C-alpha cells in the first residue's frame, strides 16, 4: 500500500515522532513502500510540490525533535484555497488528482480540528484518509488526549515555576496567559502542576472582583504574591473574548490579551504590582516530553495498523489506556471543552485554587 503523510495547521511537539512511527511500522511490519511525505500540508498537494520519500533511515533521530520535518501551513484549506490576498477558490479536486498521480492508496493526516475537517471533506470526495489527533490545545473530540498537549503543559509549568520565584521575591501578582483557544486544558493542567493560585478557563466566565478579593486575602494571610494562570480564551463575566486580530488576513481569529486585562485589573484592585507573561508559541516549540513521544509513537503505529485492517476515514484515538479509531464525522464540527465536573476541576477546587467564579 502506498501511503502519503502530511502535517496540517499549527505545529505541536510530537509531529516528527508520529511520522517516524508511521514510516517504521509501514515498512518494517507491513513491508509497504517508502511513505511519501507531502511538504507544507495540503499546499504540497494543491501546488504539486515534490514529495519526500520517507524510510526508517531517513526518519532516524526524529522522536525528540520539535516542529515538523514536513513543514506546515495554516492557509492551505483546499476547499477555500488562497488565490491572492483576498480571494479564495475550491482546489479540492486538485488534491484528489495529485493523490492519484502520486499513486496514494491512503493519506495519513496529522492535524487538529481544521485539518481533520478538511480530511473529512476530502474523504467524502473519495480520498481515503486516516487522521491522528494533534494539538497542544487538547480540544479534539473523540479522544481522551491529543499529542503535543502534555509537552505544552510541561513548558507552561516550567514558566509558572520560574514566575513563582520572582513573584515571591517582589511581592507581585504574576499573570500567565496560556494558549488553548476556546478550552482551558493547558491552563488547568499547568496551573495544577505549577501550583497556580488561580486558574481561569474559558469554560466558565470569571468574576474579576472575586479573584481580586482572594488575592487580597492571600496577602493579608501572609502571602503577598499570587500566580494566576489564565487561558487565552477565558472571559470575564459579562465581558468579551480577547481577540488580537480577525479578518481575511488570518485563517482564524487570533486570541490574546486577556492576561494583560487581568493583570491591570488586579493591580488596580489589590495593593500589589502585577505583571503579565504571555507564553505564546513557546508552548508549541521544543521536543516532546517522554509521555508525548510514547503517545505519538502509539498513534503512528495505530494509524498504520488501522489502514492495514482496511479502516479508512477515521482518526486514531486514546480511550483510557487503549487505542482505537473513531469515524471522522464524530470528530469534526465541534471542539472538546473541559467538562466542569472533570476530576481535575474537582481537584483544583478541593485545593482551594481560585477558579474565577466556580468556587463561590
Residues 175 and 350: their CA atoms lie apart, in Å, by: 22
Residues 298 and 295: their CA atoms lie apart, in Å, by: 5
Pairing mode, if any, of strands 87-89 and 81-84?
Answer: antiparallel
- Please give the backbone phi and psi of residue 327, each rounded to the nearest 5 degrees, phi first: -65, 145
CB of 281 to ligand F6P, least distance (A): 6
Nearer to ligand F6P, 119 or 136 (CB): 136
Binding mask 297-316 for ligand F6P (x = CB under 6 A): --------------------
Q: Which of 134, 284, 298, 314 binds ligand F6P (CB under 6 A)?
A: 284
Q: Does 135 bind ligand F6P (CB under 6 A)?
A: yes
Q: Does 137 bind ligand F6P (CB under 6 A)?
A: yes
Q: Tell me the H-state helices in 255-342.
A: 258-269, 290-308
Catalytic residue selected from 84, 90, 113, 137? 137
Q: Return all residues near 268 (Cβ < 8 A) that are at least 6 apart.
A: none
Please check whether residue 120 is in contact with residue 329, taking contact to mean a CB–CB distance below 8 angstroms.
Answer: yes
CB of 338 to ligand F6P, least distance (A): 14
H/E run at residue 20: helix 15-24
Nearer to ligand F6P, 279 or 301 (CB): 279
CB of 10 to ligand F6P, least distance (A): 4
* Residues recorded for the chain: 360
Nearer to ligand F6P, 58 or 74 (CB): 74
CB of 225 to ligand F6P, least distance (A): 27
Q: Which of 4, 39, 51, 112 binds ligand F6P (CB under 6 A)?
A: 112
Neighbours of 61 (CB within 10 A): 9
Q: Does 8 bind ligand F6P (CB under 6 A)?
A: no
Q: Does 291 bind ligand F6P (CB under 6 A)?
A: no
Q: Return all residues near 171 (Cβ < 8 A) that are at least 6 apart.
A: 224, 225, 272, 273
Q: Which of 55, 58, 64, 74 binds ligand F6P (CB under 6 A)?
A: 74
- Please give the backbone phi and psi of residue 172, each rounded to the nearest 5 degrees, phi first: -120, 165
Which grid coordinates are listed for 47? 501546488
Q: Is 137 among the residues known to form the active site?
A: yes
Q: Does 92 bind ligand F6P (CB under 6 A)?
A: no
Please check whether residue 283 is in contact with residue 14, taking contact to mean a CB–CB distance below 8 angstroms.
Answer: no
Q: Does 35 bind ligand F6P (CB under 6 A)?
A: no
CB of 160 to ligand F6P, least distance (A): 17
Tell me the DSSP string of 95-117.
HHHHHHHTT-SEEEEEE-HHHHH
Q: Does 71 bind ligand F6P (CB under 6 A)?
A: no
For ligand F6P (CB under 6 A), the number of binding residues is 13
Q: Which of 27, 35, 62, 136 binds ligand F6P (CB under 6 A)?
A: 136
**CA pseudo-torsion sign 75, 110, 3, 121:** negative
Residues 307 and 4: their CA atoms lie apart, in Å, by: 12
Nearer to ligand F6P, 179 or 358 (CB): 179
Binding mask 144-183 for ligand F6P (x = CB under 6 A): -----------------------------------xxx--
Residues between 223 and 282 that touch ligand F6P (CB under 6 A): 232, 254-255
User: Which residues of this chain interact with ligand F6P, rule CB under 6 A?
Assistant: 10, 74, 112, 135-137, 179-181, 232, 254-255, 284
Residues tagged active-site: 137
Amino acid at each position: 500500500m502506498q501511503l502519503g503523510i502530511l502535517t496540517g495547521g499549527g505545529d505541536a511537539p510530537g509531529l516528527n515522532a508520529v511520522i517516524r512511527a508511521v514510516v517504521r511500522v509501514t515498512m518494517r511490519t507491513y513491508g509497504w513502500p517508502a511513505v511519501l511525505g507531502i511538504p507544507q500540508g495540503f499546499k504540497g498537494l494543491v501546488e504539486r510540490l515534490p514529495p519526500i520519500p520517507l524510510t526508517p533511515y531517513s526518519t532516524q533521530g526524529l522522536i525528540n525533535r520539535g516542529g515538523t520535518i514536513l513543514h506546515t501551513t495554516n492557509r492551505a484549506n483546499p476547499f477555500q484555497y488562497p488565490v491572492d490576498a483576498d480571494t479564495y477558490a475550491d482546489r479540492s479536486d486538485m488534491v484528489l488528482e495529485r493523490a492519484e498521480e502520486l499513486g496514494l492508496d491512503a493519506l495519513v493526516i496529522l492535524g487538529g480540528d481544521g485539518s481533520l475537517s478538511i480530511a473529512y471533506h476530502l474523504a467524502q470526495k473519495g480520498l481515503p484518509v486516516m487522521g491522528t489527533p494533534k494539538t497542544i490545545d487538547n480540544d479534539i473530540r473523540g479522544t481522551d488526549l491529543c499529542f503535543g498537549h502534555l509537552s505544552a503543559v510541561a513548558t507552561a509549568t516550567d514558566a509558572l515555576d520560574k514566575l513563582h520565584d520572582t513573584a515571591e521575591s517582589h511581592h507581585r501578582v504574576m499573570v500567565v496567559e496560556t494558549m488553548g483557544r476556546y478550552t482551558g486544558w493547558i491552563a488547568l493542567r499547568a496551573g495544577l502542576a505549577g501550583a497556580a493560585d488561580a486558574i481561569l478557563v474559558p469554560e466558565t466566565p470569571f468574576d474579576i472582583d472575586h479573584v481580586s478579593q482572594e488575592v487580597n486575602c492571600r496577602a493579608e494571610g501572609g502571602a503577598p504574591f499570587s500566580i494566576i494562570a489564565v487561558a487565552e480564551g477565558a472571559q470575564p463575566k459579562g465581558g468579551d473574548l480577547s481577540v488580537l486580530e480577525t479578518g481575511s488576513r488570518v485563517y482564524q481569529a487570533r486570541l490574546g490579551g486577556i492576561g494583560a486585562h487581568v493583570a491591570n485589573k488586579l493591580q488596580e484592585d489589590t495593593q500589589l504590582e502585577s505583571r503579565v507573561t504571555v507564553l505564546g508559541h513557546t508552548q508549541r516549540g521544543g521536543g516532546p516530553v517522554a509521555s508525548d513521544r510514547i503517545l505519538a509513537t502509539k498513534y503512528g503505529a495505530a494509524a498504520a495498523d488501522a489502514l492495514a485492517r482496511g479502516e479508512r476515514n477515521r482518526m486514531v484515538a486514546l480511550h483510557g489506556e487503549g487505542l482505537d479509531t473513531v469515524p471522522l464525522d464524530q470528530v469534526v464540527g465541534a471542539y472538546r471543552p473541559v467538562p466542569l465536573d472533570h476530576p481535575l476541576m474537582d481537584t483544583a477546587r478541593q485545593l482551594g485554587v481560585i477558579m474565577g467564579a466556580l468556587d463561590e
